[in-house]
Structure 1
Amino acid sequence: MLELSAEELKSIELGILKDVADFCDKKEIKYFLCGGTLLGAVRHKGFIPWDDDVDIAMPREDYDRFLKEYNKKESIYRVNAIENNSKWHMSFARVEDYTTTLIEGTLKKKYRNCHAFVDVFPIDGIPANKLEEKTFMIKQKIFGIILNASSFCFLPSKHYSDSKDSNISLKNTIRTCLKFVAICLFSMINTQFIAKIINRNSRKYKYNESDYIGLTVFVWNWKFEKAKAVSFEERIKFKFENYEFWGPKGYDEYLTSTYGDYMTPPPVECQVSHHSFKVYKNEV
């Protein structure tokens, strides 16, 4: 197999995003650019130059519809989630390009062979009571750590590599140590069982009944992305690599909450990918 360059991978990911966006528009399924993809659209009008993935989010009801309907069409793309794939190893969905093979070195061997992807996160509500919110987030954080520990293998963490944090090397070392301890404790736990618990818990608070919403806050323990629900009431189009995709009208509140001064990029020496995968084009 031929390893793809960073630009070739971005082209494939853009193809997935276009297909998902066209499908969602046709089926009236609401989606938003989110995370680093929305940041890239706002700051760079496309991919963050050193980033190598795409993130979108959907309100839970739209997310469920998407999981049920997307795979009905014949395509090189397929969405995988714990809701439609009993062997899936994550608590959120990915739309994958099956003409590629992605080798994720941080995962256990049985989860390692995947495909070039676009991440799809459900958007859920957040408890109105502050103590209840804090308790719920801690609980989901713990489940997220157990989930990752059950699917990861012993490789150093690169989580902070592309951040503006100080002492990046120290933070990655500490995170690596904690990761190794967690793997030792929880590696025998059933990954799918934990993923189902995480999603079952996150469904308790409705997207359309909450003042605040969480994009990856309940299903992915690396990020706590929280926003005012009003920021996601309306959508506007954002230019992204010469195409246009939907994002939240209240993007400034969401990006500020998630990244702080989001228009200032990290130092040049930190402008690197924090992922550890390689992607190949399958032989015909």
Structure 2
Amino acid sequence: MNSRRLFLKQTKKQENLFGKTSGRICGKMSEIEESVRRIELSMQCLVQYPESYFEGEERDGFYIEPMMKKAWAAQIEVLLEVQKVCEKNGIQYFAEYGTMLGAVRHKGFIPWDDDLDICMRREDYMKFISVVERDLPKDFVVLNIHTEPTFTDLLTRVVNGKSIQLDEKHLEKYHGCPYVVGIDVFPVDYLPRNTEEADAQLKLLGIVLHTAQLYGLEDAELTELGEMTNQIAQLCGVKWKDKKPMQYQLYCLAERLCAMYGKDDADNMGMPVKILCGKKYIYSKQAYDSAVMMPFETIQIPVPVGYDEILKAKYGEYMIPYIRKKGHAYPFYKEQREILRQYLKANGMSGEGFYITEEERTEEC
């Protein structure tokens, strides 16, 4: 009897020891996996470019100048900082618009594209904007309706500074690009399956955004706008706050209207603001269930698993390349280049490293 008790006691001790050891091993494995993930991320963030990458070249019949190559690389550096924030906070992002198309069709930037766009499901986007300022490098700037009074787009822009930088450390990190560069982050929302609700959502969103835009006009008729905002408050069941700018409150309301439906209420996803503008960018919610990694220049970028459905909705036969007009002047740094030229001239500095010739640098405005 005593020997049986001793055996059971020893067995229990071994079980306890095994349990503790197993727990430590599992814990160590988790730590190792997390360390490997961080190392992989760090290696991606330290991506090296061969010097030949920054030479001008022709792709699909379009010439890409050397500074655009540097701007591309600089934008990728901004993306990798955003990726760190997403990794840290369990946020999934996806390539969006031309960036998604570029990954699928060109394995990088579309040759005539000059910006970088990503998107997030609404729940991830709201988490992102709540942590991004805290977790990004201190010199970065986050622009959205909550951080910048003059910002009027329902998206977030992340940029690597406030002005052109010529210091050596900055130029080294951003591959010789002195200009302010960044990326746009778009929320993708769940769309109500009930068509009447969908129509009502878009109509109300249109009224709210139109009223917000009127508040931005210098000659706005405040009495008339006051009546409009009172009607909006009644329709939406909201109360305006006296101490906050009305335009800001209207944009916040517009954001809430976009986000008012959840996954269980929807079969499809899209961007209500774009749909309101006539873009039929509506996709099955399964298109954003997960991501597939695709090459993008020198890194890998996550693309929605339903990229084929999304790209067909946006671009039709998307694998046939043709040059599309941008919604802004190309290149995006055109105005910054002129500011830099004038600065170099005023300070007697060479523009050689920035592809500004001596003739350009010294010319009169």
* Common topology (TM > 0.5): yes
State the shift of 1:28 in Å.
1.2
Task: Give the alignment partner of residue 278 of structure 1, picking from 299, 323, 333.
Answer: 333
What code does the residue aligned with 1:196 have? C
How far apart in 2 are the matches of 1:220 and 1:97? 30
Q: How many angstroms does 1:58 deviate by?
A: 1.1
SS at match of 2:273: coil
Q: How does 1:18-167 map to 2 (within 5 A)?
A: 18-73=80-135, 74-98=137-161, 100=163, 115-141=180-206, 143-144=208-209
Q: Is the CA contact 2:75–2:181 (under 8 Å) kept in the aligned structure 1?
A: yes
SS in 1 for 2:146: coil
- What are the superposed Cα offsets for residues 191-248 of structure 1, whole Å, 9 maximum, x if unpaired? 534422320211211146421111x333785545221001111211121112111121
Contact 2:280–2:313, Cα closer than 8 Å, also in 1 = no
Q: CA deviation at 1:118?
A: 0.7
Give the conservation status (yes or no) of the 8 Å contact 2:188–2:269.
yes
Q: Name 1:108's counterpart in structure 2.
A: none
* AA matched with 1:95: V
Cα shift at 1:70 = 1.6
Aligned to 2:272: 217
TM-aligned CA deviation for residue 39 of structure 1: 0.8
Q: Give the structure 2 partner of residue 199 of structure 1.
A: 255
- Are 2:284 and 1:245 equivalent residues in the alignment? no
Q: Matches of 1:67 and 1:245 in 2, distance apart?
A: 21
In 2, Cα distance between equivalents of 1:142 and 1:203: 16
Specify the code of the residue in structure 1 equivalent to 2:261. Y
**Contact 1:144–1:219 at 8 Å: present in 2 too?**
no
Q: Which structure has the larger Rg?
A: 2
Compute the displacement of 1:131 (Å).
3.1
Distance of aligned partners of 1:207 and 1:47 in 2 relative to their CA distance in 1, 3 Å threshold: farther
Contact 2:141 / 2:162 at 8 angstroms: preserved in 1?
Answer: no
**1:85 shift after superposition:** 3.8
Tell which has more relative contact order, 1 or 2 (C-alpha 8 A, sep 6+): 1
Displacement of 1:147 after TM fit? 5.6
Taking a change above 3 Å as real, the CA distance of residues 148 and 49 of structure 1, as seen in their structure-2 partners, is: farther
Task: Find the residue that maps to 1:230 and give its secondary structure.
Answer: helix
Going from structure 1 to structure 2, the CA distance change for 1:225 and 1:186 (only over 3 Å counts) comes to farther
Q: Describe the superposition over 1:138-183 as per-residue Cα deviations: whole angstroms up to 9, x where unpaired.
A: 44355556666776xxxxxxxxxxxxxxxxxxxxxxxxxxxxxxx8
Q: Distance in 2 between matches of 1:187 and 1:253?
A: 45
User: For the Cα contact (< 8 Å) 1:143–1:194, is it kept in 2?
Assistant: yes
In the alignment, the residues of structure 2 paired with residue 150 and residue 115 of structure 1 have an alpha-carbon distance, to the nearest angstrom, of 29
Q: 1:264 aligns with which of 304, 308, 320?
A: 320
Q: 3-state DSSP class of the match of 2:161?
A: strand
User: Relative to structure 1, is the Cα distance of residues 146 and 15 closer, same or farther in structure 2, using a 3 angstrom cutoff?
Assistant: farther
Following TM superposition, where does structure 1 have runs of at least 4 consecutive aligned residues deviating by more than 6 angstroms? 148-151, 183-190
> Counterparts of 1:150 and 1:10 in 2: how far apart (Å)?
36
Q: Deviations over 1:78-125 (max 9, x none)?
A: 322223444433221111110645xxxxxxxxxxxx942211111211
Greater shift, 75-84 or 11-20, is seen at 75-84
Deviation at 1:23, TM superposition (A): 2.2
CA apart distance, 1:25: 1.8
Asked if the contact 2:193/2:265 (under 8 Å) is kept, the reply is no
Letter paired with 1:80: L
Distance across 1 between alignment mates of 2:100 and 2:264:
22
Structure with the largest fraction of helix:
2
Partner secondary structure for residue 113 of structure 2: coil
User: Contact 1:93 / 1:119 at 8 angstroms: preserved in 2?
Assistant: yes
User: Does structure 2 conserve the Cα–Cα contact (< 8 Å) formed by 1:51 and 1:272?
Assistant: no
Which structure has the highest strand share of the two? 1
- Between the two proteins, the alignment pairs up a number of residues equal to 234
Q: Which runs of 5+ in 1 are unaligned?
A: 102-113, 152-182
- More divergent stretch after superposition (185-194 vs 228-237): 185-194
**C-alpha distance in 2 between matches for 1:83 and 1:211:** 30
Q: Which amino acid aligns with 2:81?
A: D
